[in-house]
Amino acid sequence: MKKIPSSEITPEALFHSRRQFIKGAAALVGSAAILAACGSEDTSNLPAGVDVQTPYESIINYNNFYEFTTDKEAVAAKSKNFTTTPWTVEVGGLVNKPQTFAIEDLLKQFSQEERVYRLRCVEGWSMVIPWTGFSLAGLLKQVEPTSAAKYVRFETVMRPEEMPGQNSSYYTWPYVEGLRLDEAMHDLTLMATGVYGKPILPQNGAPLRLAVPWKYGFKSIKSIVKIELVAEQPTSLWMNAAPDEYGFYANVNPDVPHPRWSQSSERRIGEAGRRRTLPFNGYADEVASLYKDLDLTVNY
């Protein structure tokens, strides 16, 4: 039996109202006898920093991709017929050489590497995913950002005929995310095109998605069609929806709780217990210096 906390199966914005109800239900089923019968003990405090790659089947069947559905276990089925060819990505804004790339040219021009990254969702679960892809920095250098460019704004494709979630006016579509230019230029910031050596599937953001491993998962925008260099901090879909809960920086920070739940631990998909969440999702050595002048409790 798989035990999934309610915070993971309910859309983030609706979680609060259901929580009171779930609390009562959980008290009833959470007994030691039932856990023993399921063969799973709650082994809290699993060692942080010891990573086992998440099984492929979990990576492709437990997804956040609100354009299709808010039900993580239904994204795979609902995105099955999503059209990913032809696909182009427009890269422009404050640059000297704006350019539109066909996905097959990106795959040819930028050599694909394998990078195993942890992904920590703001809702409290995490995975370890072997991506293939290339650093965003190479792509950005090619279009030559001008000195006025301070941020990078990313946009997901707008295609309500294939993405039923985009017909809901609950969120402001298309999905938008942003990075500061130095974050975008950091070598860890990956444009992902594959998972486990296979071409990336629609549920994971085909044919091209961002993977920013030190930030909460929502920064890793999927199915990108537009990348724009801009002067002002972009407003993301999540900042629009709930600015008190989802800030621009969204660095994984166990010391700053989400207003509705703690961020101090996480459940690795496939593991029974919870792990301690690490600052910057375990990538502090690489990226903490980017934020030395920022108060990260204000800039969450």
Ligand X SMILES: Nc1nc2c(c(=O)[nH]1)N[C@H]1C(S)=C(S)[C@@H](COP(=O)(O)O)O[C@H]1N2
| CA-wise closest residue to 156 among 218, 75, 105 | 218
CB of 121 to Mo ion, least distance (A): 3
Q: Which of 7, 10, 63, 79 binds ligand X (CB under 6 A)?
A: 63
User: In terms of DSSP bridges, do strands 275-276 and 224-230 run parallel, antiparallel, or are they unpaired?
Assistant: unpaired
Q: What is the dihedral of CA 214, 148, 238, 59, to 10 degrees?
A: -40
CB of 174 to ligand X, least distance (A): 8
Q: Which stretch binds Mo ion (CB under 5 A): 30-38, 87-95, 118-126, 228-236?
A: 118-126
* Residues 30-89 within binding reach of Mo ion (CB under 5 A): 64
Per rule CB under 5 A, is residue 210 in the interface with Mo ion?
Answer: no
| CA-wise closest residue to 191 among 165, 154, 218 | 154
Q: Which stretch binds ligand X (CB under 6 A): 25-33, 45-53, 217-225, 276-284?
A: 217-225
Q: Which of 10, 193, 220, 277 binds ligand X (CB under 6 A)?
A: 220
Q: Which is nearer to ligand X, 94 or 195 (CB)?
A: 195
Q: Which of 110, 131, 218, 291 binds Mo ion (CB under 5 A)?
A: 218
Query: 87 and 106 in contact (C-beta within 8 Å)?
Result: no
Q: Considering CB distances under 5 to 8 angstroms, the limit depending on partner class, which of Mo ion, ligand X, none binds residue 248?
A: none
Q: Considering CB distances under 5 to 8 angstroms, the limit depending on partner class, which of ligand X, Mo ion, none binds residue 239?
A: none
Q: Is 138 helix (H, G, I), strand (E, B) or coil?
A: helix
Per rule CB under 6 A, is residue 126 in the interface with ligand X?
Answer: no
Per rule CB under 6 A, is residue 67 in the interface with ligand X?
Answer: yes
Q: Which is nearer to ligand X, 119 or 143 (CB)?
A: 119
Which tokens is 131 given? 């991506």
| CA-wise closest residue to 123 among 257, 300, 276 | 257
CA distances from 131 to 87, 127, 220, 266 (A): 20, 12, 13, 21
Per rule CB under 6 A, is residue 222 in the interface with ligand X?
Answer: yes
d(CA 158, CA 84): 13
Rg of the Cα trace of the chain? 19
Q: Which stretch binds ligand X (CB under 6 A): 26-34, 42-50, 220-228, 271-279?
A: 220-228
Cis ω on the peptide bond leading into residue 86 (within 30° of 0)?
yes
Q: What residues line the site for ligand X (CB under 6 A)?
A: 63-67, 119, 121, 127, 156, 175, 204-205, 217-218, 220-223
